[in-house]
Structure 1
Amino acid sequence: MSDYEGTFCLVLHSHLPWLPHHGSWPVGEEWLYQAWTHSYLPVVDLLRRFADEGKRDVLTLGVTPVLAAQLDDPYTLRACHDWLGHWQLRAEHAAGIWRDPLLRELAAAEHRQATHAVETFETHWRHGFSPLLRSLVDDDVIELLGGPLTHPFQPLLEPRVTDFALREGLADTALRIGTTPEGIWAPECGYAPGMERHYAAAGVRRFLVDGPSLRGDTTAARTVGDSDVVCFGRDLEVTYRVWSPKAGYPGHAHYRDFHTWDHDVGIKPSRVTGKHIEPHDKAPYEPELARQTLRTHVKDFVDIVVERLRSLREKHGEQGLVVTAYDTELYGHWWHEGPAWLEGVLRALPEAGVRVTTLRGALEAGHLGPRYDLPASSWGSGKDWRVWDGEQVSDMVADNAALQRELLDVLGDSRTRVRSAARDQLVREALLALSSDWAFMVTKDSAADYARGRAHEHHARFSELARMLRAGDPAATAHAAELRARDYPFGQLDARRL
């Protein structure tokens, strides 16, 4: 290894459940367009600038197939373009009715940001996300992680469903960008002993787990069990400096408050101000205060990484590894200043003597430790499965188990059959029902009614189509076509492969 302080890997996990045609506000399509506009656009802008500067192996980016399907879909591309235009109009309206000088300045900045987003979208996103993603992968700016089709919690799946969702998810990514990812972001970092065998069979060579799965020893990647598949552990000591269940930079008083809206114009006018301040009492957002705080937080994070790497080197006598991982949606959508912080950190760390690279690059640099037997785990509360398999969602878990049994029973051995649009849609509805998001939202009481409604809807649609297929009802094909008109991710999905 060269004379670095050590190695740093940033992993971003980009994911939203399937949202088109399933409501608008406050969850539904609005969620998609906000994340698209405030996170995906600026993060891709940043990566494109790095590409133009000749930077390589900047970060590891996970993109779930179900999110990629939404960012490539003609319907959502048109609708997001409309949303951007409405954003411009909202900002213009705010400039006309806000009287506070700080808010008027904010409205003007918001309009400039919206205008830039429209120009970027029309120039670079006209054909969806995949062409942009492909160029970043081909130029080795990023390492791309794939995953199962609809982001199901894999430890609770039947083995055949596990293998199918993963194989098809990797194939979907290959179809979109021309290459198959070697690594995946396991949904919710969910792991059950033996899962590495499924990964190896699908061609997956590396995946991510949370730090406690490795008892906090995240300073090197580990081969899992008796396989050649490698896991990386998220370093919580460093990761939680930015975002944890209880604290982190985005909660600073000077940053823009995510939760406070001026509903007359649909814009967030306030700064955090304080943890226990009512929305109507929060101070106006001041960009200069936020910029000053951001510089402090960039320096703080770089200092923390350097300190951590030096302590690892002193302890082990060799360069260490720090892996941090976050949802991409944190940067811009949840944390307004997040993209600027991201750029600041990725520029400052190399200046501080830290090797910044991808998970693949970390292995090439020699950060591979001895084999390890991982326990059942996740990155959720308690680091076990309770978020997706707890008492609050026990009925959903039981329903999902019954759905999988019914799915496999109805399909039987489909390998010799002619392809059936009705069976394809049956699998599609099953996979949408099995999304890990629904249980997460219920357990965390985050739009729980929406989540339960979505799960119930896909279960009901699955059950009706399964009944028709069992009965040999010729109307099943027409009914499947009606369902496809609303939900049609993964047009290449073929039930015979299950």
Structure 2
Amino acid sequence: MTREGTFCLVVHSHLPWLAHHGSWPVGEEWLYQAWAHSYLPVVDLLRRYAEQGREDVLTLGVTPVLAAQLDDPYCLRGVHDWIGNWQLRAHYAATRWQRSDPRLRELAAAEHRQSAWALHEFETRWRHGFSPVLRPLVDSGVIELLGGPATHPFQPLLDQRVRAFALDTGLADTASRIGRRPAGIWAPECGYSPGMERDYAAAGVQRFLVDGPALHGDTAAARPVGDSEVLCFGRDLEVTYRVWSPKAGYPGDAVYRDFHTFDHPSGLKPSAVTGRSVPPEQKRPYEPELAAEAVRRHAADFVDTVVRRLRSLRERDGKPGLVVAAYDTELFGHWWHEGPAWLDAVLTALPEAGVRVTTLRGALEAGHVGEPVDLPASSWGSGKDWRVWDGEQVADLVRSNTELQRTLLATLRPSEVRDPVADQLVREALLALSSDWAFMVTKDSAADYARHRASTHTARFSHLVDLINSGDRAKAADIARDLRSEDGPFGALDARRVPLTG
């Protein structure tokens, strides 16, 4: 079969540290929804591909802070309870809708079946956490795993020493969970500043992702960055935006299940999208048969789009090209109910259309490497610059984070003995520096919650600094021990590894 070219799908799994930090509409509820509706079905799909002997199907990014939550006993208990409650809500809805529209009764039955499957899947495969589920996928070669810095900071705004530590900590944390350090990363927010490739090379990172405009849209091959051997892959926006763009995409189709409209007594989502301007009470009931037909239609459209793009690249360059599409994992099932079915359809149909489906690693093995490039300062956010993370709306957060880093580096002292107080000081700093808080403020998405989280971690950090400077080590140790139970299990986070000179 003549190969049209190569297609790489990159899906990135990330949620900030949410455990112990509230419930609906933010906090743990976000985590449990994504876990039940995205992580369980997507991992199940990949496991079935592995059983079929398929290799290099997609590239999966997992942020260390999310991996820590998916392995955390507190979170494991919490999502188990959440899935059980989901099943109870389905039973309540079946009773409530017993004499209602038949489509609502069938929805309640479908929710029962889905929650029963999720409960069985969790209890039989996930009860010891994510790492025992993830490692066989990596070892079998069905996926390439991408890592990243701990707590998902916007790296261009970090002091180079803090940036190096965050990256090393994140890669070491991934190694502790799956037995090896990733060779590639999904750079948080695709944020890049000239010279960061040297940090990547020092950490052993061989490849990373940028957004297409950073390469002026020429994303048909991986490119060495500057004079380094580190390669960047660019997201092909022409293809990626068919699924999800700032303005449109398949999930907005009228027959798909509406993410935002709830039946509040049961907490279920019984409505179809219907229309962007249609008020919730006027939306049509969700009909799975219509949605399944839309999945088939949109999968075929996406395959056609990829094939056309690859053919145009072949005509332009005289050789097979590369298309990289990248999305958040949470799109598949959580935000887009039908996403896992679409994903399965596309990954099945593309090879049948003559497209090589592989990972970023596989694309390099196929020879998709172009000429070196000097990347500009960039991100995937609005304007493709840094405005989301250092704009006027978050100027106070940027100032606070700059001062926090300065204080951190001035407070830490070289030590041969591991110090749990210093470890907790660094942990609070990294959590305060998460890119999520600025993003949520700029995008006005639970902005108050984001500001609260940023200020909470900054205040804890400052309190520990004050105790350290006053010499009250005993109280600092007590507080550090209590905070550790809330801030997450980063076993690889060792304050002695923070470079204090540079």
| CA displacement 1:376-419 (0-9 Å, x = unmatched) | 0000000000000100000000000000000000004x2x3422
Which stretch has the larger CA shift, 469-478 or 249-258?
A: 469-478
Give the match for residue 482 of structure 1: 482
Give the match for residue 69 of structure 2: 70
Give the match for residue 130 of structure 1: 131
Code of the residue aligned with 2:19 in structure 1: it is P
Q: Measure how far apart 1:492 and its partner are.
A: 3.4
Moved beyond 2 Å, runs of 4+: none
**Structure 2 matches for 1:441-456, cutoff 5 A?**
441-456=440-455
Give the match for residue 117 of structure 2: 116
Q: Distance in 2 between matches of 1:298 and 1:349?
A: 9
SS class of match (2:372) = strand
Give the match for residue 174 of structure 2: 173
Q: Distance in 2 between matches of 1:322 and 1:484?
A: 43
SS class of match (2:156) = helix
Q: Distance in 2 between matches of 1:273 and 1:3?
A: 41
Q: Measure how far apart 1:489 and its partner are.
A: 2.5
Give the match for residue 420 of structure 1: 419
Q: Distance in 1 between matches of 2:4 and 2:14?
A: 32
SS class of match (2:487) = coil
Matched, 1:255 2:268: no
Give the match for residue 230 of structure 1: 231
Structure 2 length as normaliser, TM-score?
Answer: 0.98
Code of the residue aligned with 2:199 in structure 1: it is H
Are the counterparts in 1 of residues 10 and 58 from structure 2 also a CA contact under 8 Å? yes
**Structure 2 matches for 1:362-373, cutoff 5 A?**
362-373=363-374
Q: Distance in 2 between matches of 1:199 and 1:142?
A: 22
Q: Distance in 2 between matches of 1:203 and 1:422?
A: 29
Give the match for residue 296 of structure 2: 295
Are the counterparts in 1 of residues 68 and 488 from structure 2 also a CA contact under 8 Å? no
Are the counterparts in 1 of residues 169 and 492 from structure 2 also a CA contact under 8 Å? no
Code of the residue aligned with 1:428 in structure 2: it is R
Q: Measure how far apart 1:483 and its partner are.
A: 1.1
Give the match for residue 81 of structure 2: 82
Q: Distance in 2 between matches of 1:22 and 1:309?
A: 45
Give the match for residue 342 of structure 1: 343
SS class of match (2:55) = coil
| Alpha-carbon RMSD | 0.8
Matched, 1:462 2:461: yes
Give the match for residue 146 of structure 1: 147
SS class of match (1:277) = coil
**Structure 2 matches for 1:18-57, cutoff 5 A?**
18-57=17-56
Give the match for residue 193 of structure 1: 194
Q: Distance in 2 between matches of 1:79 and 1:288?
A: 33
Code of the residue aligned with 2:462 in structure 1: it is S
Give the match for residue 242 of structure 1: 243
Q: Percent identity?
A: 74
User: Where do 5+ consecutive residues of structure 1 fail to align?
Assistant: none
Give the match for residue 493 of structure 2: 493
**Structure 2 matches for 1:300-315, cutoff 5 A?**
300-315=301-316
Q: Measure how far apart 1:493 and its partner are.
A: 1.6
SS class of match (2:61) = strand
Are the counterparts in 1 of residues 176 and 492 from structure 2 also a CA contact under 8 Å? no
SS class of match (1:485) = helix
Q: Distance in 1 between matches of 2:138 and 2:418?
A: 33
Q: Distance in 2 between matches of 1:40 and 1:482?
A: 30
Code of the residue aligned with 1:496 in structure 2: it is R
Aligned residues: 495
SS class of match (1:368) = coil
Matched, 1:275 2:276: yes
SS class of match (1:57) = coil
| CA displacement 1:207-263 (0-9 Å, x = unmatched) | 000000000000000000010000000000000000000000000000000000011
Code of the residue aligned with 1:123 in structure 2: it is T
SS class of match (1:11) = strand
Code of the residue aligned with 1:348 in structure 2: it is A
Give the match for residue 333 of structure 2: 332
Q: Distance in 1 between matches of 2:20 and 2:284?
A: 36
SS class of match (2:325) = strand
Give the match for residue 203 of structure 1: 204
Q: Measure how far apart 1:132 and its partner are.
A: 1.1
Give the match for residue 160 of structure 2: 159
Code of the residue aligned with 2:71 in structure 1: it is D
Code of the residue aligned with 1:142 in structure 2: it is I
Give the match for residue 2 of structure 2: 3
Q: Distance in 1 between matches of 2:46 and 2:31?
A: 21
